[in-house]
Structure formats: structure tokens, C-alpha cells
Amino acid sequence: MNVPQKKKKKQLDKFLRVWDWIKIAFLLLGLICGGVLVYQWWDKKQKLEKLQARLKEIQELKDQAQRQYQLQDINFISTNDLVNSPDVRSFFSDLLKKYAEKFAKSRGLDTSQLPLKFEGLYLDKKTGNGYGEMGRCITETFIYPANQKIANISINRLYLLNKLGHDRYFTSSPKESEDYNYLDISFDKMIDTCSHEIAHYIQLVKYGKSSCESDLILRNGKYNEELAKEHEKWTKEIYQMIKQEFSEWERKWKEI
């Protein structure tokens, strides 16, 4: 084989080697692109499945909420028997008085000049329109026998629905609106409301007046920033005090 032929063969071999590497590169590129496409397809499929599962979950929650909405008016009639129940009244009276005295004692306050009374469960028709007053604490003066003042705490009757399995009170139909409204009427929220009203009572004992953030929202002319901040702090402290025996009170509530 002469020299020119050897040179041509070397060039051809070099070209074939380069061509083999080019083919391998294209093959790898194809595999990578294919892998990316497969991953993108898989990722979209996963996201679609998650979205479908979430939409199903939302629909199930909405259906459940609608069933509760339909039941709440029926069950609310059933609370008539609970409103004047001695056991229900005793539950609230014992809870309110126990922690009012306990908290007052921790603050060195004498409550004898303003006895506390559980007035009962009230019905506020405005609540169904989104108005959320869930408890009240007001003073009352008895002229006879000695101009004695007492503090009356009353609780919204809607909490009795909790006894019948409701944790929420819907103020609008979930079926008619995606953005439906409801009030929290869970047992935990009921305890928070009781703590809130006890804090009002303690302020009435100490200052003869009381205020909270609701006064600012309602614009009733009673808002006092300093008292409102103290009320918020005391509400949290009283709640934590009750929370220490939460399971016991929850058991009593369920047994009524």
C-alpha cells in the first residue's frame, strides 16, 4: 500500500471514529430529551391527580358543610330542652364562678362587692346575619335590700348546637356560595368565650368598667385601649387556667 492510500485510510478511520462519537452524542441527547419529556408528562400527571384529589376533597367538605347547614335549623329546635336544663345551667355557673374566683384571687381582688351570676343562654337573631356576639357580661343593681350590684354573664344559645354534634354555625348556605360564612361553636371556642366574659367580670370588679376589641369594632363609644389590651391578656391567662382541666370540663359537657 502506497503512502497516499495509507494517509487516506487514516483519515477515513478518524472520520468514522468521529462519526461514531457524533452518533453516540445524538443518542444520548435523544435519551435526555426523551427523559425530560417523560418527566414533564409524569409531573403534569401528578399535578393533575393532586388537583383532582383537592377538588374532590373541597367538594366533599362543601357537601358535608351543606348537610350541617340543613341540620342546624332542625337541631336548633332541639336545643329548647337544653336552654333551661339544670345540668346545663350548673355547668356554666360552676365553670364561670370557679375560674372567676381563682383568677381574682391570683390578682388579690375581692369579688364579694360584685357577686357573679350565670344569667342563662340568650338568643340573638342578629347572629344569623354574621353578627358574632357569643357572650355578655353586664351589671345589674338590686335596690332592695341594699343597692346590691351583681354581674350577669350570659352565653349565646348557639353553643348548645355543639351538644348535638355541630362545631360550626353557618350564617350562609355553602350550596349557594363558594365563600360561605360560619361561626366557630366548638367546645374549645365556647371555653374561650367563657374566658372572655370572665375577664370582663374581673375588670368590672377592679375598675367598675371594662372594654375589649369588640367595642372598637362595634363603635359603641365604650372602647378603652388600655383596658382592651389588659382584657385580651387576661382572657388568654384565664383560658390557659381552664385548659389545665380542659378534658374534665369536656367530659362533663358530653355527659349532660
Count of other CB atoms within 10 angstroms of residue 9 = 11
Per-residue model confidence as pLDDT tens for the chain (256 residues): 555 665 566 666 666 677 778 878 878 888 888 888 888 888 787 887 787 777 777 677 677 778 888 889 889 988 998 999 999 999 999 999 999 999 999 999 999 999 999 999 998 877 766 566 899 999 988 766 667 899 999 999 999 999 999 999 988 777 666 667 889 999 999 999 999 999 999 999 999 999 999 888 878 888 999 999 999 999 999 999 999 999 999 999 999 9
Determine, yes or no, domain membership for 13: no
pLDDT in the model for residue 5: 60
Q: Which of 61, 89, 171 is nearest to 126 (CA)?
A: 171
pLDDT in the model for residue 17: 75
Determine, yes or no, domain membership for 170: yes
* Residue 142 and residue 117 in contact, taking contact as beta carbons nearer than 8 Å: no
Determine, yes or no, domain membership for 171: yes
Determine, yes or no, domain membership for 24: no
pLDDT in the model for residue 70: 84
Beta bridge partners of 154: 120, 136
Beta bridge partners of 211: none
Residues present in the chain in total: 256
pLDDT in the model for residue 129: 60
Beta bridge partners of 135: 155
Give the residue numbers spanning the domain of 171.
79-255
pLDDT in the model for residue 36: 81
Determine, yes or no, domain membership for 20: no
179 half-sphere exposure, CB direction, 13 A CA radius: 0
Number of structural domains (the chain) is: 1
Helix (H, G, I), strand (E, B) or coil at 214: helix
pTM of the complete model: 0.75
* Residue 153 and residue 195 in contact, taking contact as beta carbons nearer than 8 Å: no
What nine digits make up the cell of 89?
A: 345551667
62 half-sphere exposure, CB direction, 13 A CA radius: 14
| Helix ranges restricted to H, 158-245 | 187-207, 213-218, 225-243
pLDDT in the model for residue 42: 83
Secondary structure (DSSP) of 13-26 = HHHHHHHHHHHHHH
Helix (H, G, I), strand (E, B) or coil at 239: helix
Determine, yes or no, domain membership for 83: yes
- Match 350562609 to its residue by C-alpha cell: 172
* Residue 143 and residue 36 in contact, taking contact as beta carbons nearer than 8 Å: no
Determine, yes or no, domain membership for 45: no
Determine, yes or no, domain membership for 96: yes
